[in-house]
Every structure is written in structure tokens, then in C-alpha cells.
Amino acid sequence: MSMIVLDKHIENKLDSLPKGWASFCLYSGEAMLYSGYTANLALRLKTILAKADEGGIYREMWSLADGMDYEVHSSGIDALITHKATITDSLPTYQFRIMPWENYVYLGIDAHRFPFTTIVDHTNDDWLYLGPFRSRFFLADVIDTMSRILKLPYCESSNYPCEKFDKDICRGWCLSLAPEKESKTEQSLDKLDALLKEAYLHPNNGILEMIAKSREDYFNELEFSKAALLDDEIELLTKYRDWLTFLYTAKKLHYESDTLSISGGRVTRFNLKGREYHYPVDSTEFRENEVLALNMDSVDESRIIYDYLKKGER
């Protein structure tokens, strides 16, 4: 365990912090304020500092903080377990007032409702929900990319049809919602439903391979600038496929050993330094339209467990 003083010069010290997985605690004197875990300690503290500058609960907590201890771990699961034990043992003052997931978002799709795809911070309506995703900007880039490749709707205003239809960027699916198009609505929107689900719900839909093949063709034809333009799309779609594969698996993650139990993608038991810790099984009842939606407060834990079991670190 290492300790650092949180003074006015702390921003100048952050880049010298160790890399990799770590658990950490913020203190005011002897009182523990907050416990966290992260794969990038410097970045996490910079985020907390930025939020403190904005005011609110982060500023309140940071104004009291004068010290931090941290422990470097060899894996995410070790950092997670240490974090959970710390909360159980110490109940930090601000632990349940700070929500690291507050800016996470869900993707909602519905082929029979304008604007067909939406980014929201809850799953209370009747869209088909996926997520959460850690970045609204990442998700917006995914929707933009899918819309350009497949001419799927990405409606950025409430007026339709918009200039995207005039420029042949979109096929004008919104026209099927107009009363005068009623006779064609069912067929065209059913087709849109199939396309949206193929694009956003199926990890191995071939879109990534299609873009990668185009890049390879450009490269082989020595059109390097055109090939390079596709690198960002390939990286984006690779990350989306990875996250979507995780969402399909998260609620089914189970594991049992002498020192660790996992059920429904959450840690329910572990042994740390000779002590047993127990946690209830997540009993959330998800609706049919939330089949690929996780609770925001559980997604980071589930992702660490997913990576842990996938890599066979057990």
C-alpha cells in the first residue's frame, strides 16, 4: 500500500503514478471518503479532479480529501475484490453518493418509432435496449458509422424527411411513418427492423469484415490514404463487437472455486486475507426489451469478471 498527499500540486504528480490495475481510497485525515478501482489510476484521478471543478458532490468530496492510498494489482479481479472488501469493512462516507457510471448511456432501437435509434440514460420506455455503454460519443460514432455504411436512419432533428434523404445518405425510412404512406408502412418498417437488429444486435454480422476487406483492397492497390481512412472505422466496429459480445454473456457468467463465487455476472463470495466476504445474488428482473441491457452500477464489475473468465486467469 502506498500513500500520497493530496495538495494543490497533485496534478503535477499524477503522471508519475504506476500504470495498470489499482485500488485506491481517498481520505480526510483518518476518515475514508471514497474507494475505487481502475485500470488507469492517473486518468481516474484526473476525471475526479475535472468533475470537482464542475462543482456538486465531487467538489464537496475533493475539498475534504487530503490523502490517498493505493495498491497495485496484477489483474482487474484482484482490484475489484480489494475494492469490495474495503467498502464492506469501512463504508466510506461518499461511497454511495458518487456514481462513476452517471454518464453511461444505452442504445435504444425501434423500427416503428421515430427516430428509430436513440441514446438514453435509462431503460424505462419500450425501446429495445442495449448497454450501457461507457461513452455517449463512442455510441454516437457507432450509429453514425452504421448509418453511412448501411444507409440506416440516424435522425438528428425532429423534422423529417431531412437533407440526408435528399443527399441519398439515408433511404428515407421516416416516410413510412407518414399517413399517406400507410399502405407501405408495414413492409418497409419490417425490413428496417431486420436491418437494425442485424446491424446492432449481431456481433458477427460481417460489417467489420466488409470494411476490413475494403481497406485491404485499397492498400493492395497502393491507395494508402484511402486505406488509412478506414482504420478508425475498423477500430470503432471492433470495439463495438467486443462490447456487444460481452453484453450477450454478462448475465450468464457463473464460476465457483474455494476462494471465489460468481453468479449472474457479479461476485457473490470471496476469501481475502483469511476472511470470507458474501454478497447477495443480483435479483433484477429484466423485461424482454432489456435482454441486452445491464444495470449501470453492475456493468463495470461484470466486464472485469468477463475478461477474467475469458482469459482463464482462474
Domain residue ranges in the chain: 2-90, 104-314
Q: What is the CA radius of gyration of the chain?
A: 23
Per-residue pLDDT tens digits for 43-82: 999 999 999 999 999 999 999 999 999 999 999 999 999 9
In whole angstroms, what is the distance from residue 101 CA to residue 295 CA?
Answer: 10
Return the minimum-mean-pLDDT range out of 31-35, 65-69, 87-91, 212-216. Answer: 212-216
pLDDT number for residue 180: 57
| pLDDT band per the 50, 70, 90 thresholds, residue 264 | very high
Highest CATH level, class, for 2-90: alpha beta
CA distances from 54 to 26, 43, 45 (A): 19, 17, 14
pLDDT number for residue 230: 83
Mean pLDDT of 6-20: 86
pLDDT number for residue 314: 46
Looking up cell 460514432 gives 141
* Ranges of H-type helices in the chain: 41-54, 56-64, 76-90, 136-150, 163-166, 182-201, 207-220, 224-229, 231-250, 296-311
pLDDT at 307 over 50: yes
Q: Per DSSP, what are the bridge partners of residue 272?
A: 275
The enclosing H or E element of 117 equals: strand 117-120
In whole angstroms, what is the distance from residue 250 CA to residue 252 CA?
Answer: 5
pLDDT number for residue 179: 58
Cβ contacts of 123 within 8 Å, gap of 6 or more:
106, 108, 129, 287, 289, 290, 293
Looking up cell 431531412 gives 162
| pLDDT band per the 50, 70, 90 thresholds, residue 161 | low
Per-residue pLDDT tens digits for 104-127: 999 999 998 888 999 999 999 999
In whole angstroms, what is the distance from residue 122 CA to residue 297 CA?
Answer: 12
